[in-house]
């Protein structure tokens, strides 16, 4: 189970998987996949990325199966309009939410009975022009914050913002199609509180005002954020 920067709400658990040995795990994971997922894995050209993705899906099924009292391969998963997987109503677990993220050799899986969740992990890629990327993808104030940072802090700030923003749109379920420029992560500076406020001036129709964000503790060359939309609001 992952270590994180502070206590998460009751009912929320995050696991971190090291995917370095995903190829070796290929035979094992197929025990947990649905028939459709097994067929897809067999049909696709084997790549490390596909093997890792299958391992994450198998781990997710194992965790959900335990939570639902079902065999992993029988857990009924459905896709939302923007591709967010969730439990089908037939699982009889209306309050059980989950989300996964994977990057390079690390994956995070979160199960929640406290509300919808989104999680994002990213390995830092040092050669990227993060100022240009931030200007293209972030709000102006966030892009300026990345540009103002220097040295290694710039890369860290970019990825901290990126993960926070992706976690938000994944908790929401609409994904990046929602538009990463349409909202602002309010406390992006390194060293600030783990709980980062989000303002969404143009989306007063959503419960995002209550959205909670946590930086998660992951290996040094990664950033990761968990977003929770509490059910009670
Ligand atoms: C989900 C999304 C943020 C992926 O981010 P990423 O950093 O590339 O990948 P991650 O590893 O963090 O997350 C992938 C997992 O998120 C989950 N996911 C997929 N769509 C999701 C969504 N709309 N909301 C929340 N979670 C989603 C899936 O479990 C997926 O893993 P799987 O396919 O192996 O099951 C991005 O692909 C997205 O927004 N997709 C929605 C569709 C969309 O808006 N497309 C527009 C393209 S311009």
Using the atom order of ligand 1, give the atom closest to the CA of residue 107: 11
The parent domain of residue 133 ranges over: 120-230
Q: Which residues line ligand 1 (CB under 6 A)?
A: 53, 56-57, 82-85, 99-102, 118, 120, 166, 170, 173, 175-177
Q: Do the domain assignments include residue 78?
A: no
- In this structure, are strands 184-185 and 85-87 parallel, antiparallel, or unpaired? unpaired
Residue 38 lies in a domain: no
Mean of the pLDDT values across residues 88-112?
Answer: 96
Expressed in angstroms and rounded, the spacing between residue 166 Cα and the centre of ligand 1 is 9
CA–CA gap between residue 117 and residue 43 (Å, rounded) = 31
Q: What distances in angstroms separate CA 207 from CA 28, 89, 115, 121, one per listed residue?
A: 40, 23, 11, 24
189 within some domain: yes
Indicate the pLDDT class of residue 19, thresholds 50, 70 and 90: confident
Q: How much is the pLDDT for 25? A: 65
State pLDDT tens for residues 113-149.
999 999 999 999 987 799 999 999 998 989 999 999 9
Does residue 108 lie in a domain region?
Answer: no
Nearest CA to ligand 1 atom 1: 175
Average of per-residue pLDDT values in the chain: 85
pLDDT above 90 (res 42) = no
Question: Do 119 and 100 touch, CB atoms closer than 8 A?
Answer: yes
Q: How far is the CA of 78 from the centre of ligand 1 (A)?
A: 14
Rounded to the nearest 5 degrees, what angle is found at the Cα of 176, between the Cα atoms of 173 and 178? 70
For residue range 57-94, list pLDDT tens digits in order. Answer: 999 999 999 999 999 999 999 999 999 999 999 999 99
**pTM of the entire structure?**
0.90
Residue 97 lies in a domain: no
Using pLDDT thresholds of 50, 70 and 90, give the confidence band for residue 193.
Answer: very low
Residue 75 lies in a domain: no
Would you say residue 93 lies in a domain? Answer: no
- Count of domains observed in the chain: 1
Give the pLDDT confidence score for residue 183 in this predicted structure.
84
For residue 181, give the CATH number of its domain: 3.90.470.20
């Amino acid at each position: 189970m992952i270590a994180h920067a502070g206590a998460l709400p009751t009912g929320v658990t995050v696991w971190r998987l090291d995917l370095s040995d995903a190829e070796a795990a290929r035979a094992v994971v197929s025990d947990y996949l649905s028939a459709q997922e097994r067929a897809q894995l067999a049909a696709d050209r084997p790549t490390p990325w596909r093997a890792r993705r299958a391992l994450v899906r198998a781990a997710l099924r194992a965790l959900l199966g335990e939570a639902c009292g079902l065999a992993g391969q029988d857990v009924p998963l459905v896709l939302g309009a923007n591709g967010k997987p969730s439990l089908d109503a037939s699982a009889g677990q209306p309050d059980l939410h989950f989300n996964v993220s994977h990057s390079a050799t690390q994956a995070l899986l979160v199960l929640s009975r406290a509300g919808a969740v989104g999680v994002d992990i990213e390995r830092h890629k040092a050669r990227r022009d993060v100022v240009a990327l931030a200007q293209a993808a972030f709000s102006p104030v966030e892009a300026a914050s990345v540009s103002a940072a220097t040295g290694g802090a710039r890369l860290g700030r970019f990825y901290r913002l990126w993960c926070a923003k992706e976690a938000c749109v994944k908790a929401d379920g609409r994904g990046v199609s929602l538009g990463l420029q349409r909202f602002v992560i309010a406390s992006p500076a390194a060293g600030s509180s783990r709980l980062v406020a989000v303002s969404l001036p143009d989306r007063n129709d959503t419960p995002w005002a209550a959205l909670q964000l946590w930086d998660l503790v992951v290996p040094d060359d990664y950033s990761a954020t968990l977003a929770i939309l509490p059910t009670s609001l």
